[in-house]
Structure 1
């Protein structure tokens, strides 16, 4: 499967300009079980498609062959969407997007499209969107289209505005959004069809959701320790001003400081830092979602295409079957690698959590010793009571964060075990 950036890649931008023909407000219905695809050259000229696409789009047999894909473009889709689509495909990146298309008669139909680079062009598989996210996207598109029309924005300018809006929804890059959207629509479609959930996807979801909890709590814990370091510094300052108990206070502060440095270093090592660069930066977990869903989608599309009764005029079924199988195998291989990497990272989290518990337990033991000494010195040492109170609050907060972290780590291990015990995953590995 060709997923590499393409050299000397030129796009005839005119191919993606909207047609002047106005559509209607009438929707062209199709079943959620239906999938369809089209294959284009590098300029977006249609080279092949299946009969489902031809039927839904309302064109005569063979009429779409050799036509620019803009033939089914609906004017309600902002230019930003197509700018993002081409930007990704030109970089050799598979792209997922919600697209409103227009039939020959002017009706409309929505799809969630997954376009993949292939040798000599691109292949796009479409499914019917049905998740709650779909309604949010329609509102976002309406706002983007309004901005394009009222402000005269270029496609690129509009795309960057859309990216800013997605960031406001919690998606730092478009790749992060498309992975989430793909997984959401994939699961919604399976629910509608009453298809059993994929156990590997379920396991990855358990790992991913609890890893997010783990990382959030670790970040909060790190901030708590940053603040506690200031408390210990203040304790050392108080100790240096005392005539009574100075050596004891300094020893306590030094023990705290040493243990805290060890914990802070461990927190930095356990926390995952993923730099998401540009539009197509994506986290390991979200990329795993995309690849697993893509493998399943290609498998379903291939099965439907194999059962296709009618040969589309001018198309080569053998050639298209070959492209679909190449994409299917490529996504399967990549998803297997991605799942293995997720499992490996999850196991590291578990081992790191066990060591963190030991470090915090050691810090708690110092606290117990401190209580005895500080209680004896409290009346003789001015300025110590406030520090003691703050340290007690710190330890309570640490215990609460640690409980949440340990629970998340246990759930991550459950997800790992489910993934490793899944027969489908094992057969793929074989």
Structure 2
């Protein structure tokens, strides 16, 4: 793991020792140079277009980057870049190990080829990026990602989880259990211990959210299924009405029942559309808190790794190096505040989602009562076997709806569990982050 900071133009301001070791450059060769000094020609232009779009809008950027070392060799990183609030940018990178990297390598090759084709046709770099971007969006949709940001969030979670599994198998840790070194003071020992405790809380939150991803998928699937059933109800109600008219006066009552069914089916359709909107917003809120917590966890890891680096005395342990620790801790505090906002949005949407589900249940009950009445009335009409078959089919559709609503209940139950205990944990992490931020500032000023 390593990090660096740049100014708003992308010029390197500072970086830790691992950055210089991996890149092969001395610190004096990097500081004051544009960050693209390590840019590899295999990187598609569109990746940097997305990067700057996000950062200029005040959003974080996450993605796979192929870098070139001083000796011409290359190395892959998963980079998470966030604005620091004063025009500077903080970039934390770690080695990607998940199978997603192989997919991205091939994708980048195709995007680079698309850009090269436009340039070979005397097209402008802007036109090359536009073609590359259109291809990127098409390929991501084919993989099930409606946006690059969603892909990046999923990839970040996948990389962190895959790395955790690898470390556990090999019995290794990212950082030591306690600091050791000649320059370790009691103040630094206390800071490191507190940072470890906060990291443990963030890791627990990360794993809770990661486990919820499966239930979140079930929530989306259940919502889609209920929406499909609603349209079937309207079609069936229309067919019943047409068939009832063929039975003349005897079919009039059944026709009235069909009209009620059509009205309830419309209400069900309206309710499922509203449900879909709440599920979409819940999805966005869940993705947001997932990303914020994953980035916060990565930033706290970097805080701990850098503290251990300073304790080992790698490089000059001057005050300006402690200022780099301030940047890392500030970034972590910012992410925990963002996570708190995201969980508040998730709580609000989960409440609205539960309300939509209750409304659907009431409409489904009304449809069931109308179906029973229709079956009773059609039984009084001689030769109306077709009507009775239709109402029997209605019952099957009702049972299917209730099954889907039950599946929705299961997903909502898990969502409720998540939103019940997560806010308190986020609040605890936030309070601890502010306390550590103050301690880091005092240590840096001492």
CA distance in 2, matches of 1:255, 1:81: 55
Kept in 2: contact 1:45–1:66 (CA 8 A): yes
**Could you tell me the TM-score, scaled by structure 1's length?**
0.81
Consecutive unaligned residues in structure 1, runs of 5 or more = 1-34, 277-281
2:415 alignment partner in structure 1? 412
- Residue 135 of structure 1 pairs with residue 102 of structure 2: yes
- Residue 235 of structure 1 pairs with residue 209 of structure 2: no
2:398 alignment partner in structure 1? 395
Kept in 1: contact 2:6–2:12 (CA 8 A): yes
Q: What CA deviation, in whole Å up to 9, does each residue of 1:391-424 have, x standing for no partner?
A: 244234323322322222233233334535xx64
Q: Structure 1 residues 145 and 315, CA, compared in 2 at 3 Å: closer, same or farther?
A: farther
CA distance in 1, matches of 2:377, 2:205: 54
Q: Structure 1 residues 250 and 429, CA, compared in 2 at 3 Å: closer, same or farther?
A: farther
Give the number of the structure whose residues are more often helix, by fraction: 2
- Residue 375 of structure 1 pairs with residue 379 of structure 2: yes
Kept in 2: contact 1:176–1:283 (CA 8 A): no
1:81 alignment partner in structure 2? 47
Q: What CA deviation, in whole Å up to 9, does each residue of 1:243-277 have, x standing for no partner?
A: 3423321332233234333333332333325889x
Q: Structure 1 residues 274 and 159, CA, compared in 2 at 3 Å: closer, same or farther?
A: farther
Matches within 5 A, 1:115-130: 115-118=81-84, 119-130=86-97
Kept in 2: contact 1:92–1:117 (CA 8 A): yes
Q: Structure 1 residues 360 and 234, CA, compared in 2 at 3 Å: closer, same or farther?
A: same
**Cα offset for 1:297?**
1.2
Moved more, 226-235 or 110-119: 226-235
**Could you tell me the TM-score, scaled by structure 2's length?**
0.78
Q: Structure 1 residues 199 and 171, CA, compared in 2 at 3 Å: closer, same or farther?
A: same
CA distance in 2, matches of 1:429, 1:41: 27
Consecutive unaligned residues in structure 2, runs of 5 or more = 120-126, 174-199, 432-446
Q: Structure 1 residues 206 and 261, CA, compared in 2 at 3 Å: closer, same or farther?
A: farther
**Cα offset for 1:305?**
1.9
2:193 alignment partner in structure 1? none
CA distance in 2, matches of 1:140, 1:315: 43
**Cα offset for 1:382?**
7.8
Kept in 2: contact 1:83–1:156 (CA 8 A): no
1:247 alignment partner in structure 2? 252
Q: Structure 1 residues 402 and 161, CA, compared in 2 at 3 Å: closer, same or farther?
A: same
- Equivalent residue pairs, number: 388
Kept in 2: contact 1:48–1:315 (CA 8 A): no
2:439 alignment partner in structure 1? none
Moved more, 257-266 or 74-83: 257-266
Q: What CA deviation, in whole Å up to 9, does each residue of 1:184-235 have, x standing for no partner?
A: 1122222223378933233334545433322332233223222321321232
2:70 alignment partner in structure 1? 104
Which portions of structure 1, spanning 4 or more consecutive aligned residues, are displaced by more than 6 angstroms? none
- Residue 46 of structure 1 pairs with residue 12 of structure 2: yes
2:443 alignment partner in structure 1? none
**Cα offset for 1:90?**
2.5
Q: Structure 1 residues 255 and 272, CA, compared in 2 at 3 Å: closer, same or farther?
A: same
Kept in 2: contact 1:215–1:272 (CA 8 A): no
| Structural RMSD (CA) | 2.9
- Residue 55 of structure 1 pairs with residue 49 of structure 2: no
1:29 alignment partner in structure 2? none
Moved more, 266-275 or 165-174: 266-275
Q: Structure 1 residues 190 and 52, CA, compared in 2 at 3 Å: closer, same or farther?
A: same
1:69 alignment partner in structure 2? 35
Higher relative contact order (CA 8 A, sep 6+): 1
1:92 alignment partner in structure 2? 58
Kept in 1: contact 2:343–2:419 (CA 8 A): no
**Cα offset for 1:160?**
3.0
2:230 alignment partner in structure 1? 225
**Cα offset for 1:121?**
2.5
1:346 alignment partner in structure 2? 350
